[in-house]
Amino acid sequence: MLHRALGASGIDVSVLSLGSWRTYEHISREQGLAVMRAAQECGIDFLDDARYNDETGTAPLATGYSEVVFGELFRAAGWRRDEAVVANKLWWEFWPGESARQELDSSLTRMGFDYVDLIYATTPPEGLGAAEIVDSVAGLISSGKARAWGVVNWQPGLLAEATRIASANGTPPPAAAQVAYNVVWRSSLEGAEESAALEESGAGVVASAVLVYGALTGKYAHAEATGRIAAKLDEPLIKQALDAAPGLVELAARFSTTPAALAIAFALAGPRVASVLFGATRPEQVLANAEALDVDPAAVAELQSSRG
């Protein structure tokens, strides 16, 4: 598995990363463990976790049981803490009543970890400015609770502002920017303002939504298809991906690969991309997605020259 630098943090991450977006609580522990072990088999050592509210109605915690399950699976899979890069998120859900340190401490307790390697700051609520965020995450890093910080889906102006504040304060700049980037949603990296802000920050990009929740795989071409967006197929952004799917399927067939592997390879070739994030509920999905590393560069080049 190839590795790339995560900004100027000194952390190298596998170019494919495994997420846990509302995943492990919805599948059996055996299945979750199989997914974790498939990631190990492929050499994926960049793992993304986050706190979510219970959606099953059976969890012992109203929020954060996702982190409990992640930590248990991590240890059951035999990971050594120092051989994996683990990310988590600050949602600011209870700010200002709960500080960044308090939110992360609660997450660490549920995960059973002493620290995370990367702590993401999600889009801040009204009243929480870039200066306070930079100061908060710098405190997390200096305390050893996190090794580096990043942002999730920030507007370019806010990212640029935070970068300049960190530089003026002599504190670490954002090392990662997680953004939705795929064949049909390209402006998050390729737009002029977005590109300039990322370049100024030096952050490595973690590309998410690379399959548009399965829409780019072609699975929704069948009327009986089920999935997380089955009830949203008429939404404009989803429809854009559905319209692009047949071309992706055809191109993948010409190059003897799968639409999913081709879509991941496209994202991995994007500017400043350090890693491509995906989720999986079956180990076979992990192994299939890892085939992206073997996609013919000519197929990616043809996809890059198109507009989806």
Residue range 71-81, pLDDT digits in tens:
999 999 999 99
Neighbours of 139 (CB within 10 A): 15
Q: Which residues pair with 83 in a beta bridge?
A: none
pTM (2 decimals)? 0.95
Instruction: In whole angstroms, give the CA distance from residue 128 to residue 96.
Output: 8
Q: How many residues does the chain have?
A: 308
Strand-pair category, 146-152 with 116-121: parallel
Residue range 124-142, pLDDT digits in tens:
999 999 999 999 999 999 9
Residue 204: helix, strand or coil by DSSP? strand
pLDDT of residue 225: 66
What average pLDDT does the structure give for the chain? 94
pLDDT of residue 203: 98
Neighbours of 81 (CB within 10 A): 13
Percent of the chain's residues with pLDDT above 90? 88
Residue range 167-225, pLDDT digits in tens:
999 999 999 999 999 999 999 999 999 999 999 999 999 999 999 988 898 877 766 66
Residue range 232-259, pLDDT digits in tens:
777 887 888 888 999 999 999 999 999 9
**Residue 97 pLDDT > 90, yes or no?**
yes
